[in-house]
Amino acid sequence: MDESAKRPGRAKRADAQRNEQALLDAAAAVFVSSGIDAPVREIAAKAGVGMGTIYRHFPTRADLIVAVYRHQVDACAEAGPALLMDSASPYVALDRWVDLFVDFLVTKHGLAAALGSDQASFETLHAYFIDHLVPTCDQILEAAIAAGEIRADIGAYELMRGIGNLCIYADQDSRYDARRLVGLLVAGLRT
Amino acid sequence: MDESAKRPGRAKRADAQRNEQALLDAAAAVFVSSGIDAPVREIAAKAGVGMGTIYRHFPTRADLIVAVYRHQVDACAEAGPALLMDSASPYVALDRWVDLFVDFLVTKHGLAAALGSDQASFETLHAYFIDHLVPTCDQILEAAIAAGEIRADIGAYELMRGIGNLCIYADQDSRYDARRLVGLLVAGLRT
DNA sequence: TGATAAACGGAACATTGCTCCGTATAGTTG
DNA sequence: CAACTATACGGAGCAATGTTCCGTTTATCA
């Protein structure tokens, strides 16, 4: 799991490592203040590097976003089995896991929108979320279906896209509560 | 209701009227092929007018979008009372009306996203939808609540935003069926 | 037909994503 | 420690797009 465990070539140069970390820190800060659609120049400037450097380390915006949020996505994925164990029923576990997912999404301005978009530049982002979260969601969903608590005609991917969509622009409108809508959606799953 | 019923000044010049119509026609066509985010230049070119002309007639993109879809929005709004009369129950009317709304949204590439966005340039668009559709939705919702068919803790605005969000990017992903998700959301309203 | 207000068109500027290449340097080797 | 080379850097520059501004054209009217 160590970063330096890259297959063949030698390790990165020291300045390259420093710059990559600086970019991650800068991006995390800028994403909070300006959303994940913030101008590339702003991130580069905050990190104190040139345009060329940011594109060398993170060829697409999606690569940068994934790098910044990887740990949180992984944590969400890993929380699934534990919830399934600890909860009174699979449906309760589903409800709790969805809460985790929603909490993550609504605090990342613009992320939910990027997730739904099929812009080629977001391919990596899309793939990371699908690969890491769909299996977990599917596991919970299957358990709830097996327990007869929810209808069987919905897939993990489609449910997660629906939840993601409900979280789009959720932080821009005080009259709209994404958590409540997601709650209704999950309620609609009940048999 | 006539267009020429503008209060004080005299009627528009003939060439201005022609250009406005040409712009509406061009925009309608371009919106279908390239979505409502199509470059302004593309619309102006298709209409055979200069950049200045399009901005003079429609200062913001939202103004143009509203002008293009006004009739369809109005039709959706006016369909509400009829559905309430003709349906077996308010809940059925709600279900049917939501179908109309979803059908409208999913066939307008990018419109649902623009509706949710709080970009200042979409203010007019937002306002038009709120003003014209929320009252209708509210009427159906209230009837369903009065009939005890759905829970009472959801407002028309919030529901419509949720439906709108579920329709975002719906035409870009064959694995995602907005109608199904909206169906689940509405099902979640049942008492 | 001439005057004038209305409308037009497109050049020009600003923002932003992305690329390219000349320059600088970390790490290595003799 | 000095020279060398693979890496990495930086930012100018191009392309796309939104938006404005103003000199020119034209519809309308007397």
Q: Which residues of A71-109 are buried (b: 16+ CB within 10 A; e: fewer)?
A: eebeebbebbeebbeebeebbebbbbbbebbbebbbebb
Q: How far apart are CA A108 and CA A99, in angstroms?
A: 15
Chain D bases closer than 7 angstroms to a protein Cβ: 7-13, 16-22, 26-29
The answer to whether residue B110 neighbours chain A at the CB level (below 8 Å) is no
Q: Identify whether the C-beta of residue B115 lies closer than 8 Å to the C-beta of residue B126.
A: yes
Write out the two tokens for B71.
């009739």
Q: Which residues pair with B190 in a beta bridge?
A: B150
Residue nearest to nucleotide D19 (CA to C1'): B55
Q: How far apart are CA A55 and CA A67, in angstroms?
A: 14
Q: Which residues pair with A150 in a beta bridge?
A: A190
Q: With helix as H, strand as E and coil as C, how does chain A read?
A: CCCCCCCCCCCCCHHHHHHHHHHHHHHHHHHHHHCCCCCHHHHHHHHCCCHHHHHHHCCCHHHHHHHHHHHHHHHHHHHHHHHHHHCCCHHHHHHHHHHHHHHHHHCCCCHHHHHHCCCHHHHHHHHHHHHHHHHHHHHHHHHHHHCCCECCCCCHHHHHHHHHHHCCCHHHCCCCCHHHHHHHHHHCCEC
CA distances (Å), A16 to each of A21, A53, A56, A62, A143, in order? 9, 9, 10, 20, 46
The CATH number corresponding to A1-58 among 2.30.110.10, 1.10.10.60, 3.30.70.360, 2.40.110.10 equals 1.10.10.60
Taking an 8 Å cut-off on Cβ atoms, the answer to whether A154 and B184 are in contact is yes
Report if CB A148 to strand D is under 7 Å.
no
pLDDT along chain B (191 residues), means of 10: 45 94 98 97 98 98 98 98 97 98 97 94 96 98 97 96 97 94 97 89
- Rounded to 5°, the CA angle B96-B102-B107 comes to 135
- Which residues on chain A are in Cβ contact (under 8 Å) with B188? 183-189
What's the confidence (pLDDT) of residue A4? 38
Cite the residue boundaries of each domain of chain A with CATH code 1.10.357.10: 60-187
Taking an 8 Å cut-off on Cβ atoms, the answer to whether B165 and A161 are in contact is no
Contacts for B188 with CB less than 8 Å, ≥ 6 apart: A183, A184, A185, A186, A187, A188, A189
Spans in chain A with pLDDT lower than 50: 1-7
Cite the residue boundaries of each domain of chain B with CATH code 1.10.357.10: 68-187
What's the confidence (pLDDT) of residue B8? 53
Nearest CA in chain A to B180: A154
What's the confidence (pLDDT) of residue B118? 87
Give the CATH number of domain A60-187: 1.10.357.10
The answer to whether residue A161 neighbours chain B at the CB level (below 8 Å) is yes
- Other CB atoms within a 10 A radius of the CB of residue B82 amount to 12
Q: How far apart are CA B184 and CA B179, in angstroms?
A: 9
Contacts for A17 with CB less than 8 Å, ≥ 6 apart: none
Cite the residue boundaries of each domain of chain A with CATH code 1.10.10.60: 1-58
Give the CATH number of domain B7-58: 1.10.10.60
What's the confidence (pLDDT) of residue A64? 98
Q: How far apart are CA A163 and CA A156, in angstroms?
A: 10
Superfamily of segment(s) B68-187: Tetracycline Repressor, domain 2 (1.10.357.10)
Q: Identify whether the C-beta of residue B116 lies closer than 8 Å to the C-beta of residue A168.
A: yes
Q: How far apart are CA A70 and CA A62, in angstroms?
A: 11
Chain C bases closer than 7 angstroms to a protein Cβ: 6-12, 15-21, 25-28
